[in-house]
């Protein structure tokens, strides 16, 4: 399946804490299969707020980078997560020294 040629059929919001929500996902997959589909691609997405909380990212650093660079939330989150590899490089200090 070529990702560049995929067609969006449905979009579901699943609350992993709600069994009814999870059941609706299973039901949707069954409906797709009964409609003749044999393969689908599932993209897992979350909100920037959930990712910030889950990853325990520095909110002040996130806000500063976002404001200065005018980047989308997900780009800033990925940048900060990648910055863990630069832990001893003074990355955070350089961001705030501008």
Task: Mark 34-61 as b/e (b = at least 16 C-beta within 10 Å).
Answer: eeeeeeeeeeeeeeeeebbeeeebeeeb
- The answer to whether residue 52 sits within a structural domain is yes
Domain count of the fold of the chain:
2
Write down the H helix ranges in 5-85: 19-34, 48-55, 59-69, 73-83
Given a contact cutoff of 8 angstroms between Cβ atoms, the answer to whether 91 and 83 are in contact is yes
Residues 52 and 89 in one domain: yes
Residues 92 and 52 in one domain: yes
Closest to 29 (Cα-Cα) out of 46, 3, 9, 47: 9
Does this model's pTM top 0.95?
no
Per-residue pLDDT of the chain (98 residues; tens, 9 = 90+): 666 788 888 888 888 888 888 889 899 999 999 999 999 888 888 887 787 777 777 788 888 888 888 888 888 888 877 766 666 677 667 777 76
For residue 23, the enclosing domain spans 3-34
- The answer to whether residue 79 sits within a structural domain is yes
Residues 90 and 53 in one domain: yes
- The answer to whether residue 41 sits within a structural domain is no
- SS3 call for 10: coil
């Amino acid at each position: 399946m070529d990702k560049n040629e995929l067609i969006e059929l449905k979009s579901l919001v699943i609350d992993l804490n709600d069994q009814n929500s999870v059941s609706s996902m299973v039901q949707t997959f069954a409906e797709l299969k009964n409609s003749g589909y044999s393969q689908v691609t599932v993209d897992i997405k979350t909100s920037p707020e959930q990712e910030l909380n889950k990853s325990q990212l520095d909110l002040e650093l996130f806000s500063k980078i976002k404001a200065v660079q005018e980047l989308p939330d997900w780009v800033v989150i990925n940048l900060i997560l990648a910055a863990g590899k630069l832990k001893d490089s003074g990355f955070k200090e350089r961001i705030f020294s501008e």
